[in-house]
Amino acid sequence: MSTDRSTDRSTEQPNPGQAHLQPHEEWHPSPADHVSVAVVKADDRVPAVHIWRDVHATPQQVMRAHTDPELFARWIGPHDLTTEIDVWECRTLGSYRYVQRRGEESYAFRGTFPYVGDDRIVQTFCYEEWPQAIALETMTFTAMGDGRTRIHGVSLCDSFESRDAFLASGMETGVNEGYEKLDRLLSDGGTH
């Protein structure tokens, strides 16, 4: 596309507009980084959200905190909801369902575990009130060699719109206002 841009700029830095076109989906925290505060990144290529966080534990311990229903219910949160595990088969080809309550409100989540390995969990995630927006989540636990384990979570949605609604709603953490927002968003501008 030719414009009034002069041609003697070839030796200078590339067009600043081009810099935005450099794909940076390859970006991830380096092993040297101490990811003590969760890093969230929306993927540019596919409708996915990445999360990284380091914990002071072995991959085996992190795995157990994810696969043991009693331990899982203690941290999944949010803190103001109680988590009741209904079905829990956290193994390859297993499934799960849990319900979170706050007074009269309840939110149910379910899905399958297509694969549960030594350091990786692959699960489908579905909020029962909105089952058509299923997400595929992969959690990988990598030993950093100094007592830290890096957790890398990828939540893959079925469209960029779903992904952004997922981000905006805080759906994964079951925050009430998030669901209300999500309901409004998905009800063709209906009122709630």
Q: Is 79 in the site for another protein (CB under 8 A)?
A: yes
- Residue 110's nearest CA partner among 129, 92, 138 is 129
Q: How far apart are CA 154 and CA 51, in angstroms?
A: 6
Contact by Cβ (8 Å): 27, 106: no
Q: How far apart are CA 184 and CA 160, in angstroms?
A: 18
For residue 184, what are its two tokens? 């409004």
Q: Is 139 in the site for another protein (CB under 8 A)?
A: no
* Choice between 20 and 132, CB closer to another protein: 20
Q: How far is the CB of 143 from another protein (least distance, A)?
A: 14
For residue 143, what are its two tokens? 């030993």
Please choose, out of 88-96, 115-123, 132-140, 162-170, the segment that lies near another protein by the rule CB under 8 A: 162-170
Q: Is 75 in the site for another protein (CB under 8 A)?
A: yes
* Choice between 7 and 93, CB closer to another protein: 7
Contacts of 38 (CB under 8 A, 6+ apart): 51, 52, 53
What is the binding site for another protein (CB under 8 A)? Answer: 1, 3, 5, 15-18, 20-21, 37-40, 42, 44, 49, 51, 53, 55-57, 61-62, 64-65, 71, 74-79, 151, 159-161, 164-165, 167-170, 172-173, 175, 181, 184-186, 188-189
